[in-house]
Structure formats: structure tokens, C-alpha cells
Structure 1
Amino acid sequence: MAIGNIYAIAAIAVIGGGLFGFDISSMSAIISTRSYLCYFNQGPITYDEETGLQDCRGPTANVQGGITASMAGGSWLGALVSGWLSDIFGRKTSIMIGAVIWCIGSIIVCASQNIPMLIVGRIINGFSVGICSAQVPVYISELAPPTKRGRLVGLQQWAITWGIMIMFYISYGTSHIQGTASFRIPWGLQMIPAVLLFFGMTLLPESPRWLARKDRWEDCLAVLALVHGKGDPNAPFVVREYDEIKRMCEFERQNSDVTYLELLKPNMINRTHVGVFTQIWSQLTGMNVMMYYITYVFAMAGLEGNNLLVSSSIQYVINVCMTVPALIWVDRWGRRPTLLLGALGMLAFLFANGGLMASYGHAAPPGGLDDIEAQSWIVRGPPSKAVIACTYLFVAVYAVSWGPVSWAYPPELFPLRVRGKANALCTSSNWAFNFALGWFVPPAFVNIQWKVYILFGVFCTTMCLHVFFMFPETAGKTLEDVEGIFTDPHGIPYIGIPAWKTKNERGRAAIIEETGYDADEEKRGGVAVHTEAPRRSADA
């Protein structure tokens, strides 16, 4: 018997997000450890006169950037492929395929004998993360009611933050082990959440909208009744959802063959650009700079040894805790205000960090601090504490805004027939920029130093303006209602209400969920009240 509680469904599905989180912090906690630096060393080896231990520079800045970015490169490809997987096999099955691929990649990473083998394993891991990160939001959004959709899809970001924090502390604990076990153990433990995800997904229902797309109407109604009607197919909201899905499928039937090119047609290009840029901007906030390379930033601020790792881990705790308010209230706040205020907060702290480093810091000796090129700047005293504080505050703002909303928003924008491929394209944009930034940041710290913060501050300023003028509000609307923002009743694209005038319709959605009655639809001449379950006719 499948699980019908929507929160339980989301809790299991978002373990796929935890895979991404595990990868982020397993790398960020390990790249500064002696075992990692010496095993994958590409520079001269020296010896500490006091301890007699090796001092190694590890991979060069460019190579380390490539190692870090390889996972995102695989994720870009996995996200694109996930669109076809999801449309053919279903949302649920594609997530399970991703879990199996993750286990294969983790085995290769754990057994890595050299840098090329490590990169190959991370690419395979990334392929899995690309599939899961693209299709988990689609799966949850197609099951969730409108008033809870943002909260439930946002759980993906919370799972990412939990994965980051848990793996960081595992890696921190194993960093005290001598030898390669210090990084092989955490890389091997990464398989555990994938195993849980695979077996957990076997207990969950398939997306009702995907089932409808495949003309499996009885299964579609059964899932809706299970999730929204406590098993009652005559529940008002179940009947309404079924009717809306059926009308949308019938309208779209002539467009059954969908390719990625359709996303560039006039009736799709506007929402495609909004969805793609939501994911691009989430990377250009600079958050993953903080996640992947936080040990570099804090080392430049004067922290070292255990203080460096413990202080770095605090941001992961902040990330977990500050995502909770967004999960609770994002459907009440709406998407637009959350994104706008988040961009304003992040740009303030990025410019503050850049100004502090420029005013009170100076360049590190040639070769960087501790012989790590990317640690190219030094700031000490009270300004260094301010840099650390601004970094923590930046993470807090991201966690309560762009973190969860960037996953919840894109799947809401698209109609059923293209949703799988559309969200795959949007998520692939996330991973393309994740890849570029993962590779870009270490050399950027070497070449432009503190100006890295100014660059990301400018990006945050630009995204704030972009959101204000181009991103419509989708909170409180059914997935079928969102279609009306971009097209007229006949499906013809048009310029409707400007983005800054669109409203959160959470109150209306709550009434519909409770009663199945929509006063606005009645005014338009639609069917406002449904009193009996739809007939399961052969031609449905």
C-alpha cells in the first residue's frame, strides 16, 4: 500500500536533495586536510620541522576547481537527460534510477587512486544529482496542494542543508584519522542516503499528472484520493483536481510530442526564461562559493586548524536553521517578496565583505597562505571578525529566500505536457553555472582576490531588478491556474498583468482545497461545485 501523507511523501523524495548536500561538504571539509593534499599532491613536498610530517600543496588551483566542478558538469548532463527519463518512465522511477547511479559513483570516488579516477566518480555522482534535483521538485509539485506547494518543494533545499551539515561533521571527525581513510570513509558513507531513497520511493505513489498524461485515469484518481481525499474519490478537492487535470490533458492532447525546442516557442519562451534565470541567479548569488570554499575564505580571515573547520561548520548549522522559516511561511509570503528581499540582503553583505577586505586587508605572499594559491588575501583583527559575521549573515539570508524558492518556483511555471523537460532544462542551467563557478572561484581568488565579492554583489543587484520586472507571483495558484498568467483561455500567448501586479492567491486556494468551490471560476462561467466522482469511462 502506497504512502498517502503528503509530508511523508515529500520527506522521502527530498532525500535526493540530501545527495547534493553530502557532496558539497564532503569536498569542502576535505580539501584543506593533510591526507587529501598529500594523496592528490601536484606540487613539491616539504616537511614540518616540528612534527616531521609532510606539508603538501595538493592539486593546483585550476585542478582543484576542476575536481570540484566535475560533479556539477555531470549534474548538468543528468538534469537534461532526466526530462526524457521522467516523461518515459515516470517521476518516481527516474528518481530511483538516480539513486542507483549515485551508489555507482560513490564506489568509484571512494576507491579513487588518482585525480582522473576521482573526477570520473564525481561526474557519475553528478549525473545522479542532476536527475534527482530536476525531478524531485516536479514530482512533489504535481502531488502537493497549492497552499503547501512552496513549503513541500522547498523541503528539497532543507534536505540539501541537512546533507551538507551531516557530511561536514562526518568529514571533520574522520579528518583526525591518519591516511587515506580520512577521506575514503565519508566518500563511502555517501551511499547510505541513496539506498534509503531507493527503497523509500518504492512505498510512494506515482505523480497523478504523469499518470493522466499516460491515460491511466483510474490510477490518477486513486492517487488523488489517497493523497488529498483520505481514500475518498468523491472528496470535493479530489474531484476538482481530477477535472482540471483532465481538461488540461484534453487541451494538450494535440501537442503530445514534446521536445526541448517547444520551450523556445512564443507561448513558452517567457516562462522558460523566467525558470532558467531563477536557477542561474541562485548560483550567481555566490552561495556555493561559501559552501565549497568556505575554508579558503575563513583561512584568509585568520582562522586555522580546528578553529577553521569548526567556524566553517557554523554556517552549515545556520543554513539548516534559517531554511525552516521559509518552509513554514513561504506560501504565505509569496515567491516575489521572498526573492526580492533575499537579493537585497545578500548584495548588502557581499559588498560589505568586499569593502572590508579591500580597506583592511592586503595580498598574501606569493603562493598564498599555507602554500594554497586560492588563499590569496589576508585580513586580520576586528575587520576579520566582521568578514566572518557578514559571511554568516549572507548564508542566513540565502537560506530563508533563494535557497528554497529557487527549487519551488520553476516547476510551477509550466503546463503538464512540458513540465518534466522544462524543469530539467531549468535545473541544467543551475548545474551549468555551478560547474562554471566551481572551476572559476579558486583562480578568481588568485587573480582578482577580494573583488570576487564585488562581482557577486553586482549579480545580486541585477537579479533583484530582474525579479521585480519579470517574475510573476505563482503562490496560491493551482498548476493549471498558472497557465492563465502566460496565455489566454485559448492557449494563445499574451501580455497579461505585469509581474509586479500579480498577487498571492493563497486565501482563494485554501477555500478551494476545503470545499472544491471557486467563486472566481463561477463568475467566469465555469463549473464551481462538483458533487460526485468523475466516471471512469473508457474514453476518459
Structure 2
Amino acid sequence: MAIGNVYVISAIAIVGGGLFGFDISSMSAIIGTTQYKCYFNQGPAPATSADCTGPRSSVQGGITASMAGGSWLAALFSGFLSDRYGRKTAIMVGSCIWVVGSIIVCASQDIGMLIVGRFINGLCVGICSAQVPVYISELAPPSKRGRLVGAQQWAITWGIMIMFYISYGCSKIKGTAAFRIPWGVQMIPAILLFIGMCFLPESPRWLARKDRWEDCHAVLTLVHGKGDPNSPFVVQEFQDIKGMCEFERNNANASFFELFKPNMINRTHIGVFTQIWSQLTGMNVMMYYITYVFAMAGLSGNNLLVSSSIQYVINVILTVPALLYVDRWGRRPTLLLGALGMMTWMFANGGLLKSYGHYAGPQGVGDTPEASWSVSGPPSKAVIACSYLFVASYAPTWGPVSWIYPPELYPLRVRGKAVALATSANWAFNFALGYFVPPAFVNIKWETYVIFGVFNFAMLVHVFFAFPETAGKTLEEVEDMFTDPSGPRYVGTLPWKTRIVTRKARLLEQGEVDEEKTAQFEHDEGERSGSDTQVQA
């Protein structure tokens, strides 16, 4: 039995994104606890447990960044794994790797073992974060592709929030169980992901690429036709996929180096920078090291952890509007508004800390060197508010769209490799920022916010002049948009002139169908997306 409902398929596949979220808060909620600091202490021998300083700031940056290092390596090579063995198989391999990494992390006896375990966890996250969006985008209908692919970001936010509260609860336990339990529990979603993927179909476009046409048609019938192989949407989609595969075989090869050829380099740069900018927004500061930020604002103990957790709730709730409306809003406006909002709050925080704060000394606030700047009174509340507003700006914009956008840009023959390259850029910068932020707070203090504010301004300009609109188009139509100069939606050199296009508008524009047939076509597309039946594959 195979599952044919696209919402159920997405709900299972995006658990791979939830693993990344688990990792983020399993570190951010633990690095401030006494149990963690004492077990991995690198400072002078403490007289009491309260005197433990934990790993040095540069070492803590390395511990945090080790996961991103593994993710970068795995994301880079996940395209080859996905193209050879299938999107579904690649995700299942990733889930197995996560279990191995979680066991090592949970059993860590020293910093070296912890880093190795997190690096292995990163291998899973790299594979899943690159290939889950590809898998969903190749199964989803164009009218709901943004919602379904963007659900990966929602899973990440849920993973962050759930693991934070698990870690917070375990912080009350004495001894190493305070961090070993959360690090062990995080393997459970990976086991569920592996089991769930066994009941999902393979990507129809990958099957077509392997000349498995009967299987491709069967999956389209299962997912889009509710068991009817003659459904208008199934027939049209099958013809589009077949035509694209034939064109690619006759006109192009599928080597990795094709991504850097003149006819592809523009799309490659857009996809890569979508992921790079998503890291340079500064969200890493808020997710990994929010306890340092709020310590500067005078919070400590339970108040610090509870206040930190509020941003995770905000992240979960405000991702929902993007899932509901991103296919109507479009990709470009969402990215532009997000960059503008995040730039505003980053500069505001930098200004508040500079104007109303002061240097807290080499020991930092609460003997935390990374909390190197202190602010109190109403300005401290403003810093906290701006931090929350920053998360509220990121959650419905760059959070989901950075996963939705790259898989839409590339032709089938290189989609797995291209998205893998883009995602590897995400993890390369995640690694760099994870390592950079703790020393940055120690050495350049409030100016760290100004740096990220400038990045947000740069991405605002870049998106406006370089990123075309892809919402509402089939993957084959997006390919035509980039390659067919005679087409009505050819990008040319003016991405800001591209618009959201519905399937109905395209068919009517080309005169292929009349109003009645188009209405029936879209009715069929909507109905089969809402089907909750399971049929024999």
C-alpha cells in the first residue's frame, strides 16, 4: 500500500526538516546549563558547580558548527545519491545516519566525541534538507507547491520548539542526564521518518528520468488522479514530464558542471544565494545563541530560558501564514518584505545596545564572556522586543521561501544536484556563522547586529534586481521561462517584471482550452490534492 494524499506525503517527508530543528534547540537550550558547563568545562577548576564556565567561546563555536560542517559535506553529495538511487531512498539513508549520530552524541564522554556525533548528525541534515524539498516539489501540484515545500520550514520550527522544552524540562535533572536524555530522544523522529517513507511513492519525475514510465504514470494516478489514470491533470502532467525528458535527452547532458555553463549560471547563482542569504539574515544569532542575547538584556535563570522559548513559539505560529498564502503572495514580494523587516530590527538592536548599553567586562554578564554588552531598564525590554519582531519577520518570509524557491528554478536533469549545491551553500555559511557568532559577541560586541543589518540590506537589493517570480507555474513552465525567448514569460534581464501566473491563465493565453475545460482542469487539480484515501500503488 502506498499513500497518495500529497498532504500526508509532505507531513511525513518534512520530518527530515524537524531533525534540523531538534539539533538547533538541543544545543541552544543546553549550553547555558550548569550540567553542560561543568561536564565540558575548559576553564579553571571550579570551587563549586556555579563556577563552571564550560567550553571556551571558540570551542563552543566549533561544537555548534560541527553539525553544519557535516551538513555542508552531505548536502553537496546528496544530489548524486538522489539522482542515482531516488529521492525517497536518499531521505531514508539520511534518517539512518541521524540515529547513528544521536547515539554518539548521547554517549559523549568529551568534547571530541560530541563534535564527531554532531558532525554525523549533520550528514543526515544535509541530505534531508537538500532532497526533501526536491522530493515534495516533484510530487506537488503547482498551485500548492509553495505551501507543501514550505512546510519543511514549519517542521523545523516545531522541532526547535519541542526540543527546547524537552531540554528545558531535563535541565532540572541533576547530572549528565540533563543533556543526555534530550540528545537521545532526538533519534525517535528519525526512526518514524524511516518507517513512514516506506509507505510513500517515489518522485514521478525521477522515475521518468530512469525510463520507468509505467511507474511514473502509476504515481501520478495515485497522487493526482485519485486512481483515475485518465484524469485530465494526470494526462497533462504526464505529457509535460515526457516532453521535458525527451527534450533534455536530445539537447543536454546532466553533469554537475552544467550548472556553471552560461545557460545555467544565472539560475545557479540565484539558488545558491537564496540559501546564503537565508543564513546571513542573522537568524543564527536568534536560534543558536539567543541565551547570550537575552543575558545581555539582564535576564537570567528560568526567566532567561522561558523568554528565549517565546521566540520559538513565534516562529511556529508565524510560519503558518506563509504556508497558507505564499502561493498567492509570490516569492519575490515575500523575500523583499522579509529582508526589509529584518534589516530594520537588526539596526534597531545595534542602535539600542550602542546608545544605552555598556561593556560588561571580559567576564561578561553572569560570567558568560559572550554576553559582553549589558543593557538595562526600558532599553533592555526594547532589545527583547526587537529580537521577537526579527523572528516574526523571518518566520513567514525567508524561513519557508528559502526552501521553496531553489527546487523550482532548475530542469529535471540537474535538479537534484543543483538543489544540493544550493543547500551546501546554506550549510557552509551556517558553519561559518555558528563558529563566528560567539567570538563576535566577545570581540566586536554590539557591532555584530550592524553587520547582519547590512547583510539584510544587500539581500533586499539583490532579490529585487535578480530574482524572478516562479509562483503558480509548473516546474516545466519555469524551465520555459528561463530558456524560451519567444515565450510570454521569458525572464530576459528584467526579473522584477515577472508575475505570478495561474495554470488557468497560461492555458487560456495559449488558446489551448476554453473556459469550461480549464475550470474542470483546475477543479480536478484541487480535488485530487484534498483526497485522503490510500490506494494500491
Instruction: Describe the SS at the equivalent of 2:46.
Output: strand
- Letter paired with 1:518: L
Task: For 2:45 and 2:306, locate their aligned partners in 1 and report how far apart those are by CA, in whole Å.
Answer: 27
The residue aligned with 1:215 is: 211
Residue 309 (structure 2) aligned to one of 313, 333, 344:
313
Task: For 2:400 and 2:158, locate their aligned partners in 1 and report how far apart those are by CA, in whole Å.
Answer: 13
Deviations 1:346-372 (A, max 9, x none): 000000000000000000122222222
In the alignment, is the contact (CA less than 8 A) between 2:298 and 2:376 conserved in 1?
A: yes
The residue aligned with 1:245 is: 241
Matched, 1:290 2:286: yes
Q: What is the CA distance between 1:256 and its match in structure 2?
A: 6.8
Task: For 2:382 and 2:39, locate their aligned partners in 1 and report how far apart those are by CA, in whole Å.
Answer: 35
The residue aligned with 2:37 is: 37
In the alignment, is the contact (CA less than 8 A) between 2:491 and 2:498 conserved in 1?
A: no
In the alignment, is the contact (CA less than 8 A) between 1:142 and 1:207 conserved in 2?
A: yes
Q: Gapped runs of 5+ residues in structure 2?
A: 522-537
Question: Where in structure 2 are the equivalents of 1:481-496 lying within 5 Å?
Answer: 481-488=477-484, 496=492
The residue aligned with 1:412 is: 408
Q: What is the CA distance between 1:255 and its match in structure 2?
A: 5.9
Identify if the C-alpha distance between structure 1 residues 255 and 62 changes in structure 2 by more than 3 Å, giving closer, same or farther: farther
The residue aligned with 1:3 is: 3
Task: For 1:256 and 1:296, locate their aligned partners in 2 and report how far apart those are by CA, in whole Å.
Answer: 51
Task: For 1:250 and 1:104, locate their aligned partners in 2 and report how far apart those are by CA, in whole Å.
Answer: 41
Task: For 2:500 and 2:493, locate their aligned partners in 1 and report how far apart those are by CA, in whole Å.
Answer: 13
Q: What is the CA distance between 1:446 and its match in structure 2?
A: 0.7
- Letter paired with 1:271: R
Question: Where in structure 2 are the equivalents of 1:262-411 lying within 5 Å?
Answer: 262-411=258-407
- Letter paired with 2:358: H
Task: For 1:92 and 1:76, locate their aligned partners in 2 and report how far apart those are by CA, in whole Å.
Answer: 20
Q: What is the CA distance between 1:489 and its match in structure 2?
A: 6.5
The residue aligned with 1:447 is: 443
Q: What is the CA distance between 1:484 and its match in structure 2?
A: 1.9
Instruction: Describe the SS at the equivalent of 1:59.
Output: coil
Residue 157 (structure 2) aligned to one of 144, 158, 161:
161
TM-score by length of 2: 0.94
Q: What is the CA distance between 1:373 and its match in structure 2?
A: 1.6
Residue 65 (structure 2) aligned to one of 45, 63, 69:
69
Task: For 1:87 and 1:464, locate their aligned partners in 2 and report how far apart those are by CA, in whole Å.
Answer: 33
- Letter paired with 2:15: I
Task: For 1:256 and 1:153, locate their aligned partners in 2 and report how far apart those are by CA, in whole Å.
Answer: 27
The residue aligned with 1:27 is: 27
The residue aligned with 1:538 is: none
In the alignment, is the contact (CA less than 8 A) between 1:45 and 1:54 conserved in 2?
A: no
Question: Where in structure 2 are the equivalents of 1:412-431 lying within 5 Å?
Answer: 412-431=408-427
Q: What is the CA distance between 1:47 and its match in structure 2?
A: 3.2
In the alignment, is the contact (CA less than 8 A) between 2:485 and 2:492 conserved in 1?
A: no
Q: How many residues align?
A: 516
Q: What is the CA distance between 1:87 and its match in structure 2?
A: 0.3
In the alignment, is the contact (CA less than 8 A) between 1:72 and 1:431 conserved in 2?
A: yes
Task: For 2:158 and 2:287, locate their aligned partners in 1 and report how far apart those are by CA, in whole Å.
Answer: 13
Task: For 1:323 and 1:495, locate their aligned partners in 2 and report how far apart those are by CA, in whole Å.
Answer: 29
Identify if the C-alpha distance between structure 1 residues 256 and 500 changes in structure 2 by more than 3 Å, giving closer, same or farther: closer
Deviations 1:278-310 (A, max 9, x none): 000000000011000000000010000000000
The residue aligned with 2:142 is: 146
- Letter paired with 1:105: G
The residue aligned with 1:518 is: 507
Task: For 1:47 and 1:41, locate their aligned partners in 2 and report how far apart those are by CA, in whole Å.
Answer: 13
Instruction: Describe the SS at the equivalent of 1:112.
Output: coil
Percent of pairs with identical residues: 74
In the alignment, is the contact (CA less than 8 A) between 1:485 and 1:497 conserved in 2?
A: no
The residue aligned with 1:56 is: 52
In the alignment, is the contact (CA less than 8 A) between 2:86 and 2:203 conserved in 1?
A: yes
- Letter paired with 2:90: S
Q: What is the CA distance between 1:54 and its match in structure 2?
A: 4.3
Matched, 1:82 2:71: no
In the alignment, is the contact (CA less than 8 A) between 2:61 and 2:437 conserved in 1?
A: yes
Q: Gapped runs of 5+ residues in structure 1?
A: 532-540
In the alignment, is the contact (CA less than 8 A) between 1:60 and 1:373 conserved in 2?
A: no
Deviations 1:367-414 (A, max 9, x none): 222222211110000000000000001001100100000000000000
Q: What is the CA distance between 1:99 and its match in structure 2?
A: 0.1
Farther-moved stretch of structure 1 (315-324 vs 225-234): 225-234
In the alignment, is the contact (CA less than 8 A) between 2:15 and 2:155 conserved in 1?
A: yes
In the alignment, is the contact (CA less than 8 A) between 1:415 and 1:480 conserved in 2?
A: yes
Instruction: Describe the SS at the equivalent of 2:2.
Output: coil
Task: For 1:37 and 1:500, locate their aligned partners in 2 and report how far apart those are by CA, in whole Å.
Answer: 50
Deviations 1:105-136 (A, max 9, x none): 00000000000100000000000000000000
TM-score by length of 1: 0.93
| Ranges of 4+ aligned residues in structure 1 off by more than 6 Å | 528-531
Instruction: Describe the SS at the equivalent of 2:358.
Output: strand
Task: For 1:370 and 1:259, locate their aligned partners in 2 and report how far apart those are by CA, in whole Å.
Answer: 54
Instruction: Describe the SS at the equivalent of 1:147.
Output: coil
- Letter paired with 2:248: E
The residue aligned with 1:534 is: none
Task: For 1:495 and 1:192, locate their aligned partners in 2 and report how far apart those are by CA, in whole Å.
Answer: 45
Q: What is the CA distance between 1:518 and its match in structure 2?
A: 1.5
Q: What is the CA distance between 1:81 and its match in structure 2?
A: 1.3
Residue 231 (structure 1) aligned to one of 227, 234, 240:
227
Matched, 1:122 2:118: yes
Task: For 2:493 and 2:436, locate their aligned partners in 1 and report how far apart those are by CA, in whole Å.
Answer: 39
- Letter paired with 1:522: G
Instruction: Describe the SS at the equivalent of 2:374.
Output: strand
In the alignment, is the contact (CA less than 8 A) between 1:45 and 1:57 conserved in 2?
A: no
Identify if the C-alpha distance between structure 1 residues 42 and 394 changes in structure 2 by more than 3 Å, giving closer, same or farther: same
Residue 463 (structure 2) aligned to one of 458, 464, 467:
467
Instruction: Describe the SS at the equivalent of 2:60.
Output: helix
Question: Where in structure 2 are the equivalents of 1:166-181 lying within 5 Å?
Answer: 166-181=162-177
Q: What is the CA distance between 1:43 and its match in structure 2?
A: 0.4
The residue aligned with 2:532 is: none
Task: For 1:206 and 1:502, locate their aligned partners in 2 and report how far apart those are by CA, in whole Å.
Answer: 32
Q: What is the CA distance between 1:55 and its match in structure 2?
A: 1.7
The residue aligned with 1:536 is: none
Task: For 2:332 and 2:491, locate their aligned partners in 1 and report how far apart those are by CA, in whole Å.
Answer: 19
Task: For 1:107 and 1:495, locate their aligned partners in 2 and report how far apart those are by CA, in whole Å.
Answer: 49
The residue aligned with 1:137 is: 133
